[in-house]
Amino acid sequence: MDAKATHEAFAGPGGQRSSTIPSGENSVWADVSPLLDAACRDLEDGELIHGDNFNLFAAMSALEIMDPKMDSGMVCKYYSVEEAIEDGVAPIPISFDKTIDVRCTIDIMDHLLACEATWHKGHSLSQTVFSCIYLLRPDRTSSHALLHSFCRVIRATCKEVISVVSNARTHEEEDLFTMSYGLPLNGDGDDKCLTVLNAVEETLCRQLRACKAPSSRRKVLEDIEPLQTIVDLEEGYCKALLCRLRLRKHFYHVLTCMRRPQGRGLELARKHIASCISELQSILSSSEFLRFSGSGASDDGLEDKTTASGCQPIGFDASLNCRLAAPTPPRAIKILSWKEAVKYFMKLFHDLDIICSYSLDPSLDSVLHFVVQFQKTQPDLVARSHLQLLLVQDAKLHGRDPIFAVITRAAALPEATKNHDIQKNEFVIQLGQLVINLLKIICTNSAWQRRKLGKIMQDWRVIYLQLEMVFKKECGENASMLNEENSWVKIFQHILIWVEEQTYWIASRFLILGFELELYSPNEYCMVYWYLYVVLVKLAEKTHLKMAVTSGSGKRRGKKKRDTSKDVSKEYQIPPAVLFLQCQICLAEGLTMMLAALRNEQRIFEIRSPFNTEYERFIQHFELLQKASIPDHIAYPSFQESTTYARFSNLLMYNCFKDALRMAKEVKGSFSNEPDKLAELRKLEQVAEHNSIALNVICRVGTLDPSLKVSFEFNHHPYFATAVVKRS
């Protein structure tokens, strides 16, 4: 309430202020506005009035301030479900007019869909789905077959979703998601929800066939009671209800099929997902009929409505559950609109379909690549939880492959190694747990994922050092020997190389996620690309070394001396995976030097801040990498030394972007069967080509030209920037 309104509220006849609140026996209400005005004028910034019986905690508890999420208030229209029911908020039947009853039932179904989508987005179950009074009292709906069957399957679905998210432990991203607050999730007979739903669906199908039957057959079907009383609306209402019920049925099947161990239900789940998408399309199509058969609402007015008809649903009160125990104050919730809810579920089903289409490849590299590609679609919590449960079951990959077997395959060791006694080593067991943790972490959202990756980098570094110590202790002087008798040496050598490679992959992922989360300012791009460059160089080195150790030694042992000269060039060929990394290395190096040259010659993209220096920002961004010594002997002085003398004249002599472009074109043929890699290479090509042109333009026009403006955009690639050169 503003000052003027407050004055009017307290003003009596003749301008005299009077209290609108009657005084009690032991209390007298007085206007304290002058006192507050005086206090506001007297208080300096940061000061707070403090009394013996009124402190900061009391002020925060008593007053609604700032964001309504801080304190949404506890004022409720009804203080119990019974009170709301007695007031007629959730009547059974909804209406004695069958047509109105059907229309209102559909509105309830639509609003529940919107509530469910809002819940999936991270809001409280009690203030979204269970704001429906019909769900809170399951026994009341038994006389209403349509509503009863729908409420049952909703409760069963919520229970399944909570179970998936809890087991995946991704609910830590959204604390409120899995908290059921003692809500009636386990209604009597909910385990048989599909049986009841199928019976109602069959009745609706008969009613639909009856209303569509030609006049010659209608006499035979006269014993079938119509859904409602208006003949012209019968077919539309039957279809609208059928697609909504079938969506719930197929969605429940999707959830149960995807929970089957070892991915055994994925193929069947895909069929149900296709049905879900089809029913959603039918639900969208029913919107026009429902709008004009009801109140005649226009399509323009549906943007904020939670039902397809645009009508307000019956039987909901979000404030009823606000007094239930919660870890935070009740938050003000805006339910998603019906159109937003349909859009959310359409995306959810497409994301689940991608998961179900996954081939359960036992290769860790393939798994990591699949998850990274999947994360680019920005899946929500429910889809990511299903993915995590699919990947890690009973401490095995896909519930089938032991983690040590996964490690030996990733380290390019022979298949027989998976049964070696080395898997009983304490540090090898710890390494297996790190792999499991990594698989779980990359299924979380980007912010959570980056935070966790930053923490586990040090664990990977420590396990490498521990394995190295065991390797030296066990093998001693024979550590350099690679022969059939010394299998421990071979296994440890492969595993050590792979652990380093994986550590640098985690580091690169950590840096790349910073671009996705927009954690870097343009002034910091230079140091970020420089660090990405040194990490990618190490990653390429370890990847190449792993491939060389795997294939090179075996081939060389079997060759005769006369064949050696013929195969030198063949053996020297760089593997496609390494060339792919080298293309990215050239881009990172080129961007580092271009940004450094712009800073050195044009004085743009400099870090000038009264709050922190360039060194402090370097530490802020890379402290976790520095603590883990990733890479070794890399620190802020190394960055300074690499970039201080960067000049455009030097960049022209060695154009990294041209090298990146050449490598991208060369390596394309090696990934002809991998569409994701080809798409990535095309993006890298575009960045390299545009940046090469921009570099030439800057050098030709002259760096000292004041009209020259250079900016960087991510219009071709999510984390390799493209330089845009303009004249002001």
Give the tens place of pLDDT for each residue, 234-266: 899 999 999 999 999 999 999 999 999 999 999
Q: How confident is the model at residue 294 (pLDDT cuts 50, 70, 90)?
A: low
State which amino acid sits at residue 506. Answer: I
Q: Is residue 189 predicted with pLDDT exceeding 70?
A: no
Q: Is residue 220 predicted with pLDDT exceeding 70?
A: no
DSSP annotation string for 234-299: HHHHHHHHHHHHHHHHHHHHHHHHHTSGGGTTHHHHHHHHHHHHHHHHHHHHHHHHHHHHTT---G
Query: Worst-scoring range by mean pLDDT, 213-227, 299-313, 325-339, 524-538?
Result: 213-227
Q: How confident is the model at residue 715 (pLDDT cuts 50, 70, 90)?
A: very high
Q: Is residue 102 predicted with pLDDT exceeding 60?
A: yes
Those residues with Cβ within 8 angstroms of residue 403's Cβ, 6 or more apart along the chain or in another chain: 395, 396, 397, 432, 433, 435, 436
Q: Is residue 69 predicted with pLDDT exceeding 50?
A: no
How many percent of the chain have pLDDT more than 70? 80
Average pLDDT score, the chain: 84
Predicted pLDDT at 387 = 96
Domain extents in the chain: 81-355, 359-475+487-519, 582-727
How many percent of the chain have pLDDT more than 90? 54
Predicted pLDDT at 4 = 44
Q: How confident is the model at residue 172 (pLDDT cuts 50, 70, 90)?
A: low
Give the tens place of pLDDT for each residue, 109-147: 999 999 999 999 888 888 899 999 999 988 899 999 999
Predicted pLDDT at 40 = 82
Predicted pLDDT at 700 = 81
- The C-alpha atoms of residue 564 and residue 544 are separated, in whole angstroms, by 21
Q: Is residue 585 predicted with pLDDT exceeding 50?
A: yes
Q: Is residue 281 predicted with pLDDT exceeding 80?
A: yes
- Nearest Cα to Cα of residue 545 among 503, 578, 581: 578
Q: Is residue 439 predicted with pLDDT exceeding 80?
A: yes
Q: How confident is the model at residue 158 (pLDDT cuts 50, 70, 90)?
A: very high
Give the tens place of pLDDT for each residue, 539-551: 999 999 999 887 7
Q: How confident is the model at residue 562 (pLDDT cuts 50, 70, 90)?
A: very low
Global pTM? 0.83
- The C-alpha atoms of residue 316 and residue 194 are separated, in whole angstroms, by 24
Predicted pLDDT at 560 = 44
Residue 632 falls in which region: left (phi positive, over 0), alpha (psi -120 to 50) or beta: beta
Those residues with Cβ within 8 angstroms of residue 675's Cβ, 6 or more apart along the chain or in another chain: none
Those residues with Cβ within 8 angstroms of residue 558's Cβ, 6 or more apart along the chain or in another chain: none
Q: Is residue 334 predicted with pLDDT exceeding 70?
A: yes
In this structure, the number of other CB atoms found within 10 A of the CB of residue 160 comes to: 17
714 neighbors 515 (Cβ within 8 angstroms):
yes
Q: At what angle do helices 525-547 and 487-516 cross, to 10 degrees?
A: 160
Give the tens place of pLDDT for each residue, 699-714: 887 766 677 788 899 9
Predicted pLDDT at 661 = 94
Predicted pLDDT at 213 = 75
Predicted pLDDT at 568 = 40
- The C-alpha atoms of residue 471 and residue 469 are separated, in whole angstroms, by 5
Predicted pLDDT at 405 = 94
Give the tens place of pLDDT for each residue, 374-396: 999 999 999 999 999 999 999 99
State which amino acid sits at residue 193. Answer: C
Predicted pLDDT at 178 = 72
